[in-house]
Amino acid sequence: MSRLTHLDDSGKVRMVDVSDKKGSARTAVAAGSLTCLVATLEQVRSGNSPKGAVIATAELAGIMAAKRTADLIPLCHPLPLTKAAVRIEPDDALPGFRVEAEVRTNGVTGVEMEALTAVSVACLALFDMLKAIDRSMVIGGIEVRSKTGGKSGDWHRSGTS
């Protein structure tokens, strides 16, 4: 097992020095879900939720969160993102919403945390906008699906494309 990169030799917390790393195109895709009552899903689909454009607002919240990841996660490097996209799809099988984020940069460190933050905040925004009509909602399954670029190369979670 490799040593933890956010600790120095004496065990003190530090931000990893990436100044000597070579930049590359990097992408990360993360996903998660929000399960809810069938009636909640139908209310969103019909456009009758009390807080308006639920999906569009949550997608925007996710994009904004990706851009602010370094402000939220203490040792993340602030990155110039070249893409942050969030897609939320209703899913009858859950029932609920599938949330996916894709984040890109050209830089010296990966964007997995930005993609995870985008999905997490999009799910939280969905929850916030729907809690008045459904207190039983559950956020779950938040994971990195894939990443490309960097020294460690490409990685894809088994069972995902």
One-letter amino acid at 14 equals: R
More confident residue, 9 or 133: 133
In a domain, 9, yes or no: no
In a domain, 4, yes or no: no
In a domain, 5, yes or no: no
Q: Is the pLDDT score of 161 beyond 60?
A: no
In a domain, 19, yes or no: no
**pLDDT at residue 5, rounded to an integer:** 78
More confident residue, 10 or 95: 95
Q: What digits encode the pLDDT tens for the residues 15-54? A: 888 888 888 999 999 999 999 999 999 999 999 888 989 9
Domain span holding position 112: 24-148
Name 97's Cβ contacts closer than 8 Å, sequence gap at least 6: 33, 34, 36, 41, 44, 55, 88, 89, 90, 91, 123, 126
Look up residue 21 and give its two tokens. Answer: 């790393």
**pLDDT at residue 1, rounded to an integer:** 46
Q: Which residue has the tokens 């969905």?
A: 126
Q: Is the pLDDT score of 99 beyond 60?
A: yes
The one catalytic residue among 8, 20, 92, 128: 128
DSSP string, 91-153: ETTTTEEEEEEEEEEEESS--HHHHHHHHHHHHHHHHHHHTTT-TT-EEEEEEEEEEE-STT-
Q: What digits encode the pLDDT tens for the residues 52-80? A: 899 999 999 999 999 999 999 999 999 99
Is 128 a catalytic site residue?
A: yes
Q: Is the pLDDT score of 117 beyond 80?
A: yes
Q: Total domain count for the chain?
A: 1
In a domain, 68, yes or no: yes
Mean pLDDT taken over the chain: 93
Give the CATH number, domain containing residue 102.
Answer: 3.30.70.640
Which pTM does this prediction carry? 0.92
